[in-house]
Structure 1
Amino acid sequence: MGRRHNETEATRFSFLILLSVGLISCALVYACVSMVFRTNINSSVLEFNSMALVGEGGNVGGEGDLGGESGGCCRGIDNLELWGAAVKWGSEFKFNSSEECCRACKAMCTGNDGPCLCDTWVFCGNREACGSKFGECWLKKQKDAMEPDKQEEGKTVSWTSGIIFGKGEGIVGLKTKYGTLHIKLFPDCAPHSVAYILQLLTLRHCAGCQFYRAENRGEIWDSEGHHIKNAAYGPPFALIQGTLETVGSKFKNIPTEDCPTIRRGSVAWIGSGPEFFISLANHEEWEKSYTVFGSVLPEDMKIAEKIAHLPTKPDVWNNVNVSVLQEHVPLSIQRIKTRHGHLTTSVKID
């Protein structure tokens, strides 16, 4: 009688099947875990890069902490050398452009943990004037970013410098009897404009600074600033307008800087200043015509709305119907700091 091998062969065959199933299962589990792990890493890297370029909370536009419509601004002031404690030595840290230098500083300012590790960048981009220093990118840290330490400036200076404000920094207050409008400044998008505002903070007063025009949203824009379909575009034009020129001082025209689409809360110059406005609505129809140097914090827009509803009288400017305040609203400028997440006043300019 032949050997009964069916049971033995079946057992061996079953064992091989179970072994194969086990190996395949392990391989599938490993592949899934690896995929999830890689996805998490990639998400973290993308989030970090977004924060480094955009700022606090990952916001963009007027509410972003580093400023700019896309968070991609990286502008500085030519012929200016800012001083400060070096966090990256330029002799060992070189780039081809001031924008790359600026972005290296921004990468050290994620907006997650208060002040930036780098708040000042200084770049030498004139090959002839810089000589061996051409391409040097110095990253620095100020004792006070609102009062940057200036080494020298003028046509003979070959350096370009810029500042960056971190979380809770770079906020000024426009104080009126109706409340204080807290404004986040955008030095990376409008460095000349912000330099002027910081200069105002060094004065003892801001005599002549005021709002004189006020136009509400009417039935043209909703409460969030969105344009109502098929509605006109004004008047009213959804803004409050004023001046930041002090009596007795000569105003120097500010060059055109970053001109993003005007959004609700945008603070922008009219022409080269010192006339400015705060927008109560999104104005795509204005097609990026104005330098935006800051944005009102969202919680303070109710103050701007209150001013916009004050009594006005009609007037005509360059064939445009406008609404002028019956009584101008004087304003003073304050420097604002944050303590434990709360805004506090540190300096007042009447």
Structure 2
Amino acid sequence: MGRKPNEGGGGRWSPSIVLLFVAFVSCFLVYTGISVAFRRGSSAAYYETSPEETAAIAVAGEEEDAEEERGECCRGVENLELWGAAVKWGTDFKFNTSRECCKACRDMCRGGDGPCLCNSWVFCGDRERCKEKFGECWLKKQKDALFPDLQESGEKVIWTSGLIFGKGEGIIGIETEYGTLHVKLFSECAPRSVAYIVALMESRHCAGCQFYRAEGRGHSWDDEGNHIMNAPLGPPYGLIQGTLEAEGVPFKSMPVEACPTIRRGSVAWIGSGPEFFVSLANHQEWRRSYTVFGSVLPEDMHIAEKIAHFPAKADVWNNVNVSVLEKPVHLKVKRISRSSGDLNLNGNVDSHSRRS
């Protein structure tokens, strides 16, 4: 990817370098909410893990790695408890891992065009701290999955929570003067990254956010983003690169989340952010290198392609040849809603109507 010579150690990295050392940070979700409901008690008995359960958890870990390589994830955020109407009571619904709880919710959100019966889950997976609540899996239905009801967060919270975005949900817009890139966020793969994007969206401005580097696919990839046999892998690298750091929204280095294969349309952090890129090509050679937190809808990729061909000048970042836009493209992040099944391109949602 290349790093600007005037940037510090948290700058822009080349896609060929695998991210080996990224500091994991604590949950920094900035949602606010007050709940007046209370949780039902539990009568579950404490029990030790059997050899069979231990083996099952190990197998589940291997399956999870394979699924995340394909972009099929089931991740949540620790020390976070989401509220909401329960569709499955955890006192009577238990698993050994948060992934199983997540998948149970996801299985209730595969009704084609129909609404998701479950769009959030809450799991207690620490035996010592959860005690009789260990294994409880609460499946819930949020009024707005992008802005869920928060019960509590912080180190004292014993719960892990996650979100499921169904068809037409979890879509945000990266708006530029040349058009809006509609991006489906991957809450199941990169929940902490999605939390930051939502916080950025709520700030209602993105001063300083911009695309500043742009490279077409050249003669290395075809129109579908597939690599052409015997062609070089770059430069150019087939991407547009920018930053998603705005004034007034504190940015903490992102933890590594799911790093599936980069495909055409993938939206991913560079290093630990806030630098990011939109890929115009399939980059199998960047395997497991970047946290992918969303994907541009196919019908909007022509906007990214257009930006990639704006006037640019050659530069060298960290010994990588790059193309820097002569005029950066400013952007802002906004909420996108669906009305009667269609994308509402004027999708800014008022903070009061969101909770109604």
What is the letter of the counterpart of residue 78 of structure 2?
D
What is the CA-CA distance between 1:170 and the residue it aligns to?
0.3
1:26-105 matches, cutoff 5 A: 70=70, 72-105=72-105
Q: Which residue in the other structure is 1:307 paired with?
A: 307
Q: Which residue in the other structure is 2:233 paired with?
A: 233
Question: Is the 8 Å Cα contact of residues 176 and 331 (structure 2) preserved in structure 1?
Answer: yes
What is the letter of the counterpart of residue 110 of structure 1?
R
**How many Å separate the matches in 1 of 2:178 and 2:335?**
18
Question: Is the 8 Å Cα contact of residues 71 and 261 (structure 2) preserved in structure 1?
Answer: no
Question: Is the 8 Å Cα contact of residues 111 and 167 (structure 1) preserved in structure 2?
Answer: no
Is residue 134 of structure 1 aligned with residue 143 of structure 2? no
Change (3 A) 1:348 1:140: closer
What is the CA-CA distance between 1:348 and the residue it aligns to?
7.3
Q: Deviations over 1:154-185 (max 9, x none)?
A: 11111000000011100000010111000001
Question: Is the 8 Å Cα contact of residues 268 and 277 (structure 1) preserved in structure 2?
Answer: yes
Question: Is the 8 Å Cα contact of residues 114 and 168 (structure 1) preserved in structure 2?
Answer: no
Change (3 A) 1:239 1:111: farther
Question: Is the 8 Å Cα contact of residues 168 and 338 (structure 1) preserved in structure 2?
Answer: yes
Q: Which has the higher contact order (CA 8 A, sep 6+)?
A: 2
What is the CA-CA distance between 1:150 and the residue it aligns to?
0.7
**How many Å separate the matches in 1 of 2:349 and 2:218?**
34
Question: Is the 8 Å Cα contact of residues 71 and 260 (structure 2) preserved in structure 1?
Answer: no
Q: Which residue in the other structure is 1:209 paired with?
A: 209
Q: Which residue in the other structure is 2:224 paired with?
A: 224
Q: Which residue in the other structure is 1:195 paired with?
A: 195
Tell me the secondary structure at the aligned position of residue 224 of structure 1.
coil
Q: Which residue in the other structure is 2:333 paired with?
A: 333
1:161-176 matches, cutoff 5 A: 161-176=161-176
What is the CA-CA distance between 1:112 and the residue it aligns to?
1.0
What is the CA-CA distance between 1:101 and the residue it aligns to?
0.3
What is the CA-CA distance between 1:340 and the residue it aligns to?
2.4
What is the CA-CA distance between 1:119 and the residue it aligns to?
0.3
* Structure (1 or 2) with the larger CA radius of gyration: 1
Question: Is the 8 Å Cα contact of residues 222 and 228 (structure 2) preserved in structure 1?
Answer: yes
**How many Å separate the matches in 2 of 1:189 and 1:219?**
32
**How many Å separate the matches in 2 of 1:183 and 1:258?**
17
Q: Deviations over 1:171-229 (max 9, x none)?
A: 00001011100000100011111111111121121111110000000111111001111
TM (norm. structure 2) is: 0.77
Q: Which residue in the other structure is 1:152 paired with?
A: 152
Aligned pair count?
283
**More helix as a share of residues:** 1
Structure 1 segments unaligned to the other structure (5+ residues): 1-66
Q: Which residue in the other structure is 2:256 paired with?
A: 256
Question: Is the 8 Å Cα contact of residues 142 and 148 (structure 1) preserved in structure 2?
Answer: yes
What is the CA-CA distance between 1:302 and the residue it aligns to?
0.3
Question: Is the 8 Å Cα contact of residues 119 and 164 (structure 2) preserved in structure 1?
Answer: yes
Tell me the secondary structure at the aligned position of residue 197 of structure 1.
helix
What is the letter of the counterpart of residue 244 of structure 1?
L
Q: Deviations over 1:85-133 (max 9, x none)?
A: 1010001111111000001000100041343110000000011111111
Change (3 A) 1:126 1:207: same
**How many Å separate the matches in 2 of 1:316 and 1:265?**
25
Structure 2 segments unaligned to the other structure (5+ residues): 1-66, 351-356
